[in-house]
């Protein structure tokens, strides 16, 4: 074997080593991407859970706000706006994660379902029209799509209304 043959063999083996390294890196990147997606989904779920637990004191306000939006006191309206602004900002981030491939539609669909319910309440569209400027263009576009579904379809309002009691019991 001469020096030229050894150089060619070394170049060939080096090429194979580079190819193996690239395949290994591709597998690692895919695994890390999947782990990041799961972590993002868990984080979203945890944030929603924490937000709901923190809002227990506001349950009545949340349950009736969209029905009686115009009858809320200034303080109630402020709390109501803050609660839903935080929630919509969470959806805004989830949509961005989905756009980047870090979330699946399985994570965003429950948000969309709840928003359809909000928009179908007596004052849901009013609230959105008054507050949509608080959110980015992508969320506004997504909500407008959901709005079209609500206004053209037969959707039920958000089902967090108070149970009506019969006072004659």
Tell me what pLDDT residue 167 has: 42
Tell me what pLDDT residue 16 has: 93
* Contact (Cβ atoms closer than 8 angstroms) between residue 146 and residue 116: yes
User: Looking at the predicted structure, is the pLDDT value of residue 55 above 70?
Assistant: no
Q: Write down the pTM of the prediction.
A: 0.62
Tell me what pLDDT residue 114 has: 84
Query: What whole-number distance in Å separates Cα of residue 159 and Cα of residue 153?
Result: 17
- Segment 62-80 shows an average pLDDT of 87
C-alpha distances in Å from residue 98, one per residue of 14, 94, 157: 39, 6, 26
Domain positions in the chain: 11-152
User: Looking at the predicted structure, is the pLDDT value of residue 154 above 70?
Assistant: no
User: Looking at the predicted structure, is the pLDDT value of residue 106 above 60?
Assistant: yes
Residue 26 CB: number of other CB atoms within 10 A?
10
* Contact (Cβ atoms closer than 8 angstroms) between residue 158 and residue 118: yes
């Amino acid at each position: 074997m001469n020096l030229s043959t050894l150089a060619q063999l070394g170049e060939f083996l080096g090429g194979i080593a580079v190819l193996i390294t690239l395949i290994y890196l591709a597998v690692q990147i895919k695994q890390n991407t999947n782990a990041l997606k799961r972590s993002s989904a868990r984080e979203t779920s945890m944030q929603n859970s924490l937000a709901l637990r923190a809002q227990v004191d506001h349950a009545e306000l949340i349950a009736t706000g969209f029905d009686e939006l115009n009858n809320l006191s200034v303080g109630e309206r402020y709390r109501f706006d803050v609660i839903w602004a935080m929630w919509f900002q969470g959806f805004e981030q989830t949509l961005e994660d989905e756009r980047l491939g870090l979330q699946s539609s399985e994570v965003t669909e429950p948000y969309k379902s709840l928003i359809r319910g909000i928009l179908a309440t007596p004052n849901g569209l009013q609230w959105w029209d008054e507050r949509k400027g608080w959110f980015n263009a992508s969320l506004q576009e997504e909500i407008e799509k959901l709005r079209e579904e609500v206004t053209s379809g037969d959707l039920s309002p958000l089902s967090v209304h108070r149970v009506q009691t019969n006072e004659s019991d």
